[in-house]
Amino acid sequence: MAERLIIFTRYPEPGTTKTRLIPVLGAKGAARLQRQMTEQTMAQVRSLQASRPLSVEIYFTGGNREQMQAWLGSDLTYRQQGEGDLGVRMASAFEASFATGITGAILIGTDCPDLRDQLMERAFQTLEYHDLILGPAQDGGYYLIGLRRLIPELFVGISWGSDLVRQQTVEIAQRLDLAIAYLPILTDIDRPEDLVGCSQ
């Protein structure tokens, strides 16, 4: 199985990142948290790469390729997320991966401090026997989604940013009769209440 890990993140520029946390952390504090969480995620990704052969692509917003390379390393592939809502951008990333012959792709964000390399390893293993794998987030969304082929319907008509994201995604998957697997529920750090108990 030719595998790829797709990472969605944002260059940590104050005022443009983690905006829902600015009221409690300030613009610089919110950007610093974004930087820390992305670096923590990438440390887990590097650990996963050491034990599993997979390609990694980082889809980013804000900043530019040179800034991303200086921050996270020049040995990774960087792509702009492009236009459209989150669903359009995620579907495009999956489509680009499958077009290159990838047979299993997992997409994550960088907002989930508890997402570890062992869990990503388990996700790739589970994906070999399922059409769709989801890592449910406490807020009703998901911190991870994995596919073995492009299923564009999963990214259309979703209320992105709401607590209905996972429910709507699962309903579509069930209508399509997909074999679904789930990872443990984890917490995304998006809103002030998510910071309770956060070690960052």
The mean-pLDDT minimum among 25-39, 54-68, 94-108 falls in 25-39
pLDDT of 18 above 60: yes
Which DSSP state fits 101?
Answer: T
> How many Cβ atoms from other residues are within 10 Å of residue 135's Cβ?
25
What's the pLDDT tens digit per position in 34-90?
899 999 999 999 999 998 989 999 999 998 999 999 999 998 999 999 899 999 999
What's the pLDDT tens digit per position in 126-137?
999 999 999 999
CATH superfamily for domain 3-195: Spore Coat Polysaccharide Biosynthesis Protein SpsA; Chain A (3.90.550.10)
Strand order in the sheet with 104-108: 77-80, 55-61, 3-10, 104-108, 142-147, 132-136, 180-182
Hey, where are the domains in the chain?
3-195
Mean pLDDT value across the chain = 91
